[in-house]
Chain A
């Protein structure tokens, strides 16, 4: 079946720098995309979402960009903090409400 994938399994950034986590998706019919953050021993936590009729959405310190032409999704975190260290998953919402997750990117923030 179609799947969502990530380019970089691990990303290390210096505290205060901006982070960019990328995701490629293959299902051109997907209409809704979500980024989740998962800390060790916890469930995935919703960060931000975007619908296919948008190309950019901003939250608090986070921005999601969607490029439907190349089927690419990215999460930008401004002024990365140690508390941002976690695994980040992109997910696409296929038919019904079936979430398909990408492989995940580990974000490590160095102090």
Chain B
């Protein structure tokens, strides 16, 4: 089973709202990732967690706050977003944070900021 699940599938929020995106995997992977993908563009890395600890933050604005409560779950807390933050947010996981470990992606959350 190489399934990564994400909820919700779609989210519409105002600029003053607080919302959270959720990602889950039960493959025993110890590395999890958040990517942002704008329309007709490739995914761009935001955060990497390895063994539940933040490993990489690609200079993402503080209005995006990741959290890894356990080895199976990854959250992305959203607050005071801008319309330009509207995008597809993808979660991925891999066995380890290794240069030769395949990353498996979830279906994404389509976020619209009004």
- Size bracket, chain A contacts: 20 to 34
How many pairs, one residue from A and one from B, have CB atoms within 8 Å of each other in the complex?
67
Across the interface, do A42 and B97 meet the contact criterion of CB distance under 8 Å? no
| Residues in B92-108 with C-beta less than 8 Å from chain A | 92, 94, 96-108
Contacts A89-B42, A98-B48, A101-B43 given: A43-B106 contact, CB under 8 Å? yes
B100–A96 touching, CB < 8 Å = no
- The answer, yes or no, to whether A34 is at the interface (CB within 8 Å) is yes
A95 touches B42 (CB 8 A): no
**In whole angstroms, how far apart are the Cα atoms of A55 and B6 in the complex?**
35
Cβ < 8 Å to B, chain A residues 6-22: none
**CB within 8 Å for A42 and B107 given contacts A97-B31, A101-B42:** yes
- Chain B interface residues toward A at CB < 8 A: 2, 4, 6, 31, 33, 40-45, 48, 55-56, 90, 92, 94, 96-108, 110
Q: What are 26 residue pairs bridging A and B, where the CB atoms are less than 8 Å apart in the complex?
A: A32-B99, A34-B102, A41-B110, A43-B4, A43-B6, A43-B90, A43-B92, A43-B105, A43-B107, A44-B105, A46-B2, A89-B43, A95-B99, A96-B55, A97-B33, A97-B94, A97-B98, A97-B99, A97-B103, A98-B56, A99-B45, A101-B42, A101-B43, A101-B44, A103-B42, A104-B42
Whether the pair A94, B99 counts as a contact (CB closer than 8 A) is yes
Whether, in the assembled complex, A51 has its beta carbon less than 8 Å from a beta carbon of chain B, the answer is: yes
Complex alpha-carbon distance, A60 and B63, angstroms: 43
Tell me whether B99 and A44 are in contact (CB under 8 A). Answer: no
Partner of A44, one of B40, B90, B101: B90
